[in-house]
Chains A and B, each alone.
Chain A
Amino acid sequence: MDYSFDFAPVFQAWRLLAEGAWATTWISAISMAAGLVLGTILTAMRMAPVGVLRALAIGYIEIIRNTPFLVQVFFIFFGLPALGLRLDAMQAAILTMTLNCSAYIAEIVRSGVQSIRPGQIEAGKALGLPSFDVYRFIVFRPAIRAVYPSLCSQFILMMLNTSLVASISAQELTYAAQMIDNRTFRSFEVYFVLGAIYLALSQLFSLGLQLIGRSYFSYPTK
C-alpha cells in the first residue's frame, strides 16, 4: 500500500464543509419540527372514530414506510413537476424528509398515546373538556415523554438520511463533500472527514434533543 494520506486539500475546503453542515442542520431541524406536527396529526387521524380518516392515515403510513427514501426524493423532485409542482432541490429535500419522517413519528406517537392510562382521558372528559382539548392538554405531553427516546433516535436517523438528498443536488453536507472529492480526488480523506462530521452532528443533535427533553419533561413522576 503506497497511498500517502493528505488531508490538507480537504481542510482547505472547510468553508464548503461548514456551509454544508449548517445546511444539513437547519433542513433537519425544520423537517423534525414539521414532521412532528404532521406525525401528530396522522396519529390523531389514525385513532379517529371516523373510518375514512383512519384508512387514509394507515394508507399513507404504509406507503411511506414501505418505499425507499431515495425513491420518494426522486418522485417529489422529478415526478411532481409533471403535475405542475416545481420545487427547487432544497424545498424538495425538506418536503420529502418531512413527509417521510412524519410516518415513522406517527407510529411512535401512537404508542405513546396508547401508554397513557385511560383514567387520564376520563378525568379530562369528566371535567367537560372536548376531545381535542383532552388530547392537546392532557395526553400529548406525557405521551411524548413516554416515547421521547425513540423519537430522538428517529430524528437522528432522519438527520443522517439527509445525505441522500445530495442525489438531487440539494446543497447539504454530503453534496459539499462530493464537490471537494471531484476537485481534489482525495476520496478517502474526504469521506473519512465527512463521516466524522456526521458523527459529530449526531452527537450535537442528541445533546440538543436531550436538553429540550429535560426542560419540556421536567415534571416529576413516581
Chain B
Amino acid sequence: MSAVAARIRPDQNPQAVTDHPAQATITMSAVNKWYGKMHVLRDIDLRVNKGEHLVLCGPSGSGKSTLIRCINALEEIQSGTIEVNGNVLGRKGAKVDHIRRDVGMVFQQFNLFPHLTVLQNCMLAPRRIHRATEAEARDKAMHFLEQVHIAEHGHKYPAQLSGGQQQRVAIARALCMGPQVMLFDEPTSALDPEMVKEVLDTMIGLADQGITMICVTHEMGFARAVAHRVIFMDRGEIIESAPPSEFFGAPKHERTRAFLGQILNH
C-alpha cells in the first residue's frame, strides 16, 4: 500500500490527472451492451486514470450497475473494448480472472458469505488465489479489518453484524486482494440511514489513500468530498461528465438538471 497521499481536492483541477495518457487504468471504447433487444449501454467511452475517483449517478435503470459490472466481466459486452490495467477484455475474455483480481467490487447487498466468519470471508480469496499461508492471509485480513474499524468482530458471522458493519467487511474483503481499482455499486442504498455515514467515512478514507474508485451512488455529499469527476448517465448513455463543482454548480444538460432537481429536493 502506498503512503497516505494528501487528498486531491476536486477544485484543484482534476484534469491535470485526467489528461495524462500513460496513467489510464480503465479505458472503455465504444462499448455497447444489449439484454436481448434492450440496448442498455450505448457507445460508452470512458477513461479512468490511476488514482481517479469517479462518481456515477443517474436514474434507476439507466445502466450504472451494468456499466461497472462490465469492467470486471460480470456482464459480457456485445461490442467495443474494455481495457483494465493493460489487459483487454474481449467478448470472451481470456484473462478474466486476472482482471478481477485487480478490481475489487462492493455490492449493494454486501454479499458476504454467510457460512464463513468475517476473517474467513477476508482470507478465502488470498488463500486460494495468492496461495497465501494461513498466517499471511490472517495478518492481511486483520490489517484491512482494522482499517475499516471492525477487527474486533473478526470471529463473528455476517448474520451477527449490522448492515453497516457487513458493508465495511465487504470493503475489507475486497482490499485483501490488493486491487488497483475499487468498484462500488450503491454501497449505502441498502443501509438504514444511521449506518450510511460509517460506510461513507470508510470510503472517504480509502479515497484518501489514492486508490482508483468508481462509485455508483446518489450520496452527493460524498461526490463533492471525493470525486474528481461526476458522471451522469441516462438510458444507457453518458450524458455529462464534469468535476463536482461544475456538475452541481452549472450542469450543462437539461436531463442532468432535472435529475439533480429530483434528488437534491427531498
Taking Cβ atoms with an 8 Å cutoff, the residues of A that contact B are 117, 119-120, 122-130, 133, 137-138, 141-142, 145, 217, 219-222
Q: Assess whether B97 is in contact with A141, with CB atoms less than 8 Å apart.
A: no
Q: How far is the CA of A219 from the CA of B124 in the complex (A)?
A: 17
Q: Given the known A-B contacts A219-B159, A222-B159, are A123 and B111 also in contact in the complex, defined by CB atoms under 8 Å?
A: yes
**Quick one: CB contact mask for B100-134 with A, threshold 8 Å, 1 for yes?**
11011101010111111000000011001100000
The interface residues of chain B lying within 8 Å CB-to-CB of A217 are 115
Q: Given the known A-B contacts A220-B159, A222-B159, are A119 and B128 also in contact in the complex, defined by CB atoms under 8 Å?
A: no
The interface residues of chain B lying within 8 Å CB-to-CB of A126 are 72, 74, 100, 103-105, 174
Q: How far is the CA of A142 from the CA of B125 in the complex (A)?
A: 18
Q: Assess whether A119 is in contact with B107, with CB atoms less than 8 Å apart.
A: yes
Q: Which 9 A-B pairs have the closest CB atoms?
A: A128-B101, A123-B111, A127-B125, A128-B100, A126-B105, A119-B111, A220-B159, A141-B115, A222-B159
Chain B: which residue is nearest A138 at the CB level?
B113
B177 interfacial by beta-carbon distance below 8 Å: yes
Q: How far is the CA of A33 from the CA of B97 in the complex (A)?
A: 33
B115 touches which one: A117, A122, A219 (CB < 8 A)? A219
CB A74 to nearest CB in B, in angstroms, measures: 42
B15 interfacial by beta-carbon distance below 8 Å: no
Q: Assess whether A128 is in contact with B115, with CB atoms less than 8 Å apart.
A: no
On chain B, the number of residues with a Cβ less than 8 Å from chain A's Cβ atoms is 28
Excluding A128-B98, A128-B101, 17 further A-B contacts by CB distance (< 8 Å) are A117-B111, A120-B111, A123-B111, A125-B74, A126-B103, A127-B100, A127-B125, A128-B125, A128-B129, A130-B97, A142-B113, A217-B115, A219-B114, A219-B115, A219-B116, A220-B159, A221-B114
Q: How far is the CA of A128 from the CA of B124 in the complex (A)?
A: 11
**Quick one: CB contact mask for B188-202 with A, threshold 8 Å, 1 for yes?**
000000000000000
Q: Assess whether A122 is in contact with B125, with CB atoms less than 8 Å apart.
A: no
Q: How far is the CA of A198 from the CA of B122 in the complex (A)?
A: 46
The interface residues of chain A lying within 8 Å CB-to-CB of B100 are 125-128
B160 interfacial by beta-carbon distance below 8 Å: yes
Q: How far is the CA of A125 from the CA of B125 in the complex (A)?
A: 10
Q: How far is the CA of A65 from the CA of B97 in the complex (A)?
A: 38
Q: How far is the CA of A117 from the CA of B108 in the complex (A)?
A: 13
Q: How far is the CA of A127 from the CA of B174 in the complex (A)?
A: 7
Q: Assess whether A123 is in contact with B97, with CB atoms less than 8 Å apart.
A: no
Q: How far is the CA of A123 from the CA of B125 in the complex (A)?
A: 11
CB B111 to nearest CB in A, in angstroms, measures: 4
Counting chain B CB atoms within 10 Å of each CB, the highest count among A124, A126, A137, A219 belongs to A126
Q: How far is the CA of A137 from the CA of B113 in the complex (A)?
A: 9
B160 touches which one: A130, A145, A220 (CB < 8 A)? A220
Q: How far is the CA of A133 from the CA of B159 in the complex (A)?
A: 23
The interface residues of chain B lying within 8 Å CB-to-CB of A124 are 113
